[in-house]
Structure 1
């Protein structure tokens, strides 16, 4: 394998999560459990929403897509990571690595913009309740989802295309334990400065633009909530937004911690932990956050398992 450019690099060696053989089995069981909970939780959320009395409500429509996205991007990363606990030397081809990166970016970028769309939905529900059904019609929601997935496809295509054009040095072809950390540009590749700036700009836009949009939406929401005189109205408004705020904080907070910090403060262990958190743990947390705090979802769950009572 030569070091002239990326075309001569045919594979990456994936570095394991731990070098301690005694921890391989416990970690495998841990991540397997997380993945099973994530799959069951997200599939269950999609099924429960489909059997509720308001399946076409914008909130549940967006929530079902959030569960679908979480299911997809956890399935892109976690199975490969579980396989990597078995052999002593884990190798992934260059094309497989780029494919994994591409599909992962599609869904992770789409999730960021979907959370932004859900913030706008909450803004309309609280700030313009009388016009909510008109503004957030099923047609408008469908168009929003087309835009969300289109932005994911566009961002992933541009990012992966330029990533594949980087020049990788043979002494540093060792990647982390899965390829989603490639956007960090911590592969110590012999890339051009322009490519690095371009990739960082793309990643920054896809992270900062949704974050700023969410902050603006909630600034208006908070202003409207403060104008509500009744305690019951304020409590209901905060309850409407609490689940989404938790999901937004965890998702964008973990990404900001992962990517937007000085390179001098990066350590391999920190990168591994933060990567695992937002690629495997967050897809598991989202259905738990929404199902535990959403009365309609809890009611549908009770009815599905044979309960005859509704939530209070």
Structure 2
């Protein structure tokens, strides 16, 4: 299917959904079609059977903003699509998926309609509690971030102190040179970079470049996703797609039936993965799978259902 045919297909799909008298849940995305079809299929099994799910690309959707109805729901994939939807003029609801908490909080003030989300990554307290068990270095934890996230330094500093840690914060530009220069700056006082979900900071190969630089300097990063562990971070606490969709489906159901908007959250089901090579190289002893589950409520990647 070429580009023009795809475009016509999604326009027709959108119009068919808009002409339907019932509410429509639009999944706004810029990912490949096979991925969004799979995502929509999985979501369809979790929401009421009468829920009309319509995946549509963001550039097509912009042309039909006026067709949105008050009972419609817009599910956005990623922070860019969330920001886009918050600029729409309609009375429906927006639900963000595959977005970091700090990204969500940065955009939220510009979102006038009822809004919720399901966060990627994991709560700060969950990461700090695990880190307290395995990391004995008392140097500050470094946190690099772009201007596309909202970092509450006071909140994070207070929470870190509860676990015996201190944060060193540094906002950086997102071009490759600036990012790598910032890594060198924070590593003058810290041996570990702590990450939050920050799409702008880590895109265009920046994440890989940072991890390569850290490897060369024998320093480490705590990643926000499993992909970071595979690329060279020490560990990551995160949720899988199914857990995110279950939390999203609950929010869709409550909004459809009660017009009650549940708060944005992290999924309850969280996983943890360690990088075995780095664990061994740095002498870190990871907790057993049973301890991870009993103490932190985390599922060790190799034993998850």
Shorter-chain TM range is under 0.3
Higher strand share: 2
Where relative contact order (Cα < 8 A, 6+ residues apart) is larger, the structure is 1
